[in-house]
Structure 1
Amino acid sequence: MKARLVVFLFVPVILLTLCPQSSGRVDWDVKKTLKLEKTPVDVAVSLNGRWVFVLTAQGSILIYSGDGRLEDEIAVGKHVDGIKVGPEQDILLLSSRKNKTVEILVLDFIQNIDVSNSPFKGPADAAVTIAVFSDFQ
């Protein structure tokens, strides 16, 4: 009787250790690590994935491009303790528990266009540049 009990108890243990586990598995790898000089508090990613916004304890938002380059820094104040991306890619929501507020920030990303070798009319150092894209149909 004792022998049957011992076998009955050890067979499941042996089977569980010898049989491969069929539980779900997730493989992961760190794609990139952003080295910051300031302490991060919160992070948000734009809807299109082009921008990473890092709220710092010093009261600023660091704006990184999708490939990890620091593009800009915005001072928002130390009262801001949370950020979320809004319903559009150019809207950022800043929350403050201390002030009991939510600020809606509208971002306008300015892109420089290199026109140095492009044809132009008028003086080359004019204050205004007008680009004509005439190859559209």
Structure 2
Amino acid sequence: MNRGMQTIMLLTGVVSIAGCAATSKPASAVLPAPSGTDQAAARHNEEGIQTYGERQWDKAKRQFDAAIEVAPTFAEAHYNLGMVLYRMGALREGDAHFMTAADLAPGNTVIWDSPPLRNVTVPDKASTVPGSSDGHGH
């Protein structure tokens, strides 16, 4: 077999592998309820996840809203509602739920990597205290 034929076969193999990876199911964009979550809230969240997967945004929103109504401190439901609201084009409302989720789950890296929190840096205390210097003489 000549080099040209070897290259074509190699590229064909790479393309077919890439095609399989592209068609495999992507990681979930929404989060399941952690253990210990109120059962009714977890059930609403699971139904929301199912309808989210079916791209039924209004139904998913209602389910995540219901989960939050049952358990207002359910961080994952707030995150999931933020994801649905983004899909629906309600970015500001979604941001509020992402922020609430982050407040409720300070160690959850998935939540902290949500759209409004990506690449956000928190200023140090000195730069937020009135009359303090920023190190540049003003």
TM-score by length of 2: 0.24
TM-score by length of 1: 0.24
Greater relative contact order structure (CA < 8 Å, 6+ sep): 2
More helix per residue: 2
More strand per residue: 1
Flag the structure with larger Rg: 1
